[in-house]
């Protein structure tokens, strides 16, 4: 097969998602398995969203609206932008792929930080090869180092991904620094603000949502998702906001019918009220504080997080620890694929799941002599 394949595809390391609960139950003969591996919201979505999903099942013989019209209209209204500023995707991951396909010319590069969301890298490599991807180092606090990124904007750096807050470190950038950075980027380069975890920020302060930037500049795009705080990861709905000319280019590469009927209806319903979002954010804040204290009490280095997950350094062999956790029915994520081989990331779940994880972690670490 290798002779048949586009050589760039062979350079891609396949994405390793958190293992499915069913796999671990089967493999280790367990009844209780807790999955805290993909930064989902563990609360079930509210009744109005479930009702919208049920209603839509009567229409499944028809293709969805390819233009995502009513979804985009609701998103536009919710964010105070125009319909022409919005594009929807099958998850924001699909929009990341569209961006690279639409804008990366031969010889041009994607620039971001090390230790960030791994999809920027794989989407770049499959399209343009390993040499098209450039990573700047982080600062000492595991934050994006905007100076280091700015220093790598040469003639070929074309698309710059800024993840704020960042996955997997959970760290956030000062708003003034983000604004100053955007102002420095030449107008023939693209700045992508990936704000997937924006809703979870503890103190928005001067946080840059990107909405002022997309009004003032044509080269900035903001990515958002329904997969995290809105609890719709299983339906795959994300969106982006940018200048209408920018969105029009993305529409040229958008696959037709990309967001399902149920995805569109559920996402619209989830923007009817902020109640579920606020409940989720408050619960996350409480549970995160409790889990942080528990992990610190185990003597672990944990990175303070503005998101719905925590990055920690177990100081034992991560693969060995991961296997011990899996055997005990806990799925979290080793971070080698995100460039931090000595770290693990745990999503914040419901209190009883977090407690189970912490207890199993304590046991596994003790077994490893830590
Ligand atoms: C930083 C970041 N961006 C984008 C995504 C993709 O989200 P989705 O494709 O589910 O919208 C994720 C998911 O984990 C993420 O962490």
**158 with 209, same domain?**
yes
| Cis before 168? omega within 30 | yes
Instruction: Return the pLDDT at 19.
Output: 81
- The residue whose CA has the least distance to atom 12 of ligand 1 is 196
* Euclidean distance between CA atoms 209 and 327, whole angstroms: 41
The ligand 1 atom at the shortest distance from the C-alpha of residue 39 is: 14
Q: Does residue 37 surpass a pLDDT of 80? A: yes
Residues 192 and 321 in one domain: no
pLDDT at 72: 98
Residue nearest ligand 1's atom 9 by CA: 91
Residue-level pLDDT at 270: 98
Nearest CA to 200 among 269, 277, 118? 277
Distance 196 CA to ligand 1 centre (A): 6
- The pLDDT of residue 18: 76
- Mean pLDDT within 78-96: 98
On whether the CB atoms of residues 220 and 214 are closer than 8 A, the answer is: yes
For ligand 1, whether the C-beta of 196 sits within 6 Å is: yes
Q: How confident is the model at residue 277 (pLDDT cuts 50, 70, 90)?
A: very high
246-275 average pLDDT score? 98
- pLDDT tens, position by position, 128-178: 999 999 999 999 999 999 999 999 999 999 999 999 999 999 999 999 999
> What DSSP line would sit under 190-237, residue for residue?
EEEEE-TTGGG-S--TT---SHHHHHH-SSEEEEEESSSTT--GGG--
How many beta carbons lie within 10 A of that of residue 126, not counting itself?
Answer: 17
pLDDT > 90: what percent of the chain? Answer: 96
To which H or E segment does residue 42 belong? none
Ligand 1 in reach of 308 Cβ (< 6 A): no
**Tell me, what's the pLDDT at 2?**
87
Same domain, 102 and 244: yes
What's the total number of domains in the chain? 2
* Cα–Cα distance, 263 to 68 (Å, whole number): 10
Q: Considering only CA atoms, which of 332, 351, 246, 336 is closest in space to residue 289?
A: 351
pLDDT of residue 11: 92
For residues 253 and 127, is the Cβ–Cβ distance under 8 A? no
Report pLDDT for 306. Answer: 97
Please answer whether residues 20 and 26 qualify as being in contact, where contact means their C-beta atoms are separated by less than 8 angstroms: no
CATH number at residue 331: 3.90.1150.10
Residues 251 and 154 in one domain: yes
pLDDT of amino acid 15: 80
Tell me if 127 is assigned to some domain: yes
For residue 331, what is the enclosing H or E element?
strand 330-331
Spatial CB neighbours of 279, under 8 Å, sequence gap ≥ 6: 43
pLDDT on residue 204: 87
User: Are residues 316 and 182 part of one domain?
Assistant: no
The single residue listed with the structure tokens 């931090």 is: 340
- The stretch 276-296 carries a mean pLDDT of 98
pLDDT value, residue 14: 81
Supply the pLDDT for residue 226: 98
Q: Where are the alpha helices (DSSP H) in the chain?
A: 7-11, 21-28, 47-56, 69-79, 92-103, 119-128, 146-150, 175-184, 211-216, 244-253, 261-270, 275-297, 318-327, 351-367
Whether 50 maps to a domain, the answer reads: no
Quickly state the pLDDT bin for 10 (edges 50, 70, 90): very high
Q: Could you tell me if the CB of 354 is within 6 A of ligand 1?
A: no
208 contacts: CB under 8 Å, gap ≥ 6: 164, 173, 175, 178, 179, 182, 193
Categorize the per-residue pLDDT at 263 as very low, low, confident or very high, splitting at 50, 70 and 90: very high
The finding on whether 91 has its CB within 6 A of some atom of ligand 1 is: yes
Other residues' Cβ atoms within 10 Å of the Cβ of residue 66: 12
pLDDT of residue 39 exceeding 90:
yes
Q: Say if 169 falls within a structural domain.
A: yes
39 is a domain residue = no
Same-domain pairing of 213 and 288:
no
Residues 197-245 have pLDDT tens digits of: 999 999 888 999 999 999 999 999 999 999 999 999 999 999 999 999 9
Q: Which two tokens stand for residue 48?
A: 């109005």
Residue 210 dihedral angles phi and psi, to the nearest 5°: 95, -10
Last residue of a domain, one of 237, 270, 303: 270
CATH code for the domain of 131: 3.40.640.10
Mean pLDDT over 2-14 rounds to 90
Are 260 and 303 in a shared domain?
A: no
What is the pLDDT of the chain when averaged over all its residues? Answer: 96
Closest CA to 345 of 336, 334, 354, 356: 334
Q: Examine the domain organization and report whether 173 and 281 are in the same domain.
A: no
Distance 154 CA to ligand 1 centre (A): 27
Statement to judge: residues 159 and 210 lie in one domain = yes
The pLDDT confidence band at residue 120, using thresholds 50, 70 and 90, is very high
Decide if 250 is inside a domain.
Answer: yes
Question: How does pLDDT run across 305-343, given as a tens digit for each residue?
Answer: 999 999 999 999 999 999 999 999 999 999 998 999 999
Dist. CA 93 → ligand 1 center (Å)? 6
Cα separation, 191 vs 219, in Å, equals 6
Q: For residue 345, what are the domain limits?
A: 2-31+275-367
Pocket test for ligand 1, best of 87, 119, 345 (most atoms within 8 A of CB): 119
For residue 52, being part of any structural domain is answered with no
In a domain, 36, yes or no: no
DSSP bridge pairs for 87? 240
* End residue of a domain, out of 201, 235, 270: 270
User: Contact at 8 Å (CB) between 84 and 244?
Assistant: yes
Same domain, 357 and 323: yes
From 270, 296, 324, give the residue that closes a domain: 270
Q: For a pocket test of ligand 1, which of 228, 233, 258 has the largest count of ligand atoms closer than 8 A to its C-beta? A: 228
| Atom in ligand 1 nearest the alpha carbon of residue 233 | 10
Residue linked to tokens 């319909």? 83
> Do both 247 and 121 map to the same domain?
yes
Same domain? For 168 and 198 the reply is: yes
pLDDT of residue 93: 98
Whether pTM exceeds 0.85: yes
Q: Which two tokens stand for residue 240?
A: 């982006």
**Prior bond to 256 cis, omega within 30?**
no
């Amino acid at each position: 097969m290798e002779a048949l394949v586009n050589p760039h595809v062979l350079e891609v390391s396949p994405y390793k998602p958190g293992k499915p609960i069913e796999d671990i139950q089967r493999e280790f003969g367990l009844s209780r398995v807790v999955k805290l591996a993909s930064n989902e919201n563990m609360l079930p979505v509210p009744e109005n969203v479930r009702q919208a999903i049920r209603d839509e099942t009567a229409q499944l013989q028809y293709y969805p609206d390819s233009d995502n019209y009513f979804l985009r209209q609701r998103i536009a209204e919710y964010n105070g932008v125009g319909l022409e500023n919005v594009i929807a995707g099958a998850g924001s991951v699909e929009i990341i792929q569209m961006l690279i396909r639409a804008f990366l010319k031969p010889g041009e590069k994607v620039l971001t930080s090390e230790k960030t969301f791994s999809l920027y890298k794989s989407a770049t490599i499959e399209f343009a090869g390993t040499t098209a991807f450039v990573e700047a180092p982080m600062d000492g606090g595991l934050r994006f180092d905007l100076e280091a990124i700015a220093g790598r904007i040469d003639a070929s750096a074309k698309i710059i991904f800024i993840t704020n807050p960042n996955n997997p470190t959970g760290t956030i950038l000062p708003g003034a620094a983000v604004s100053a950075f955007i102002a420095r980027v030449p107008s023939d380069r693209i700045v992508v603000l990936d704000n997937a975890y924006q809703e979870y920020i503890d103190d928005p302060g001067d946080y840059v949502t990107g909405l002022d930037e997309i009004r003032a500049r044509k080269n900035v795009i903001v990515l958002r998702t329904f997969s995290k705080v809105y609890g719709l990861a299983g339906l795959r709905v994300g969106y982006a906001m940018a200048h209408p000319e920018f969105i029009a280019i993305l529409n040229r590469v958008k696959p037709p019918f990309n967001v399902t009927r149920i995805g569109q209806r559920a996402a619209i319903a989830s923007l009817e009220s902020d109640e579920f979002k606020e409940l989720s954010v408050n619960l996350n804040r409480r549970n995160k504080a409790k889990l942080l204290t528990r992990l610190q009490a185990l003597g672990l280095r944990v990175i303070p997080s503005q998101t719905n997950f925590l990055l920690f350094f177990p100081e034992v062999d991560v693969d060995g620890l991961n296997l011990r956790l899996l055997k005990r029915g806990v799925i979290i994520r080793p971070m080698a694929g995100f460039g931090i081989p000595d770290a693990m990331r745990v999503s914040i779940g419901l209190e009883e799941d977090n407690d189970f994880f912490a207890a199993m972690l304590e046991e596994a670490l003790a077994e490893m002599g830590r």
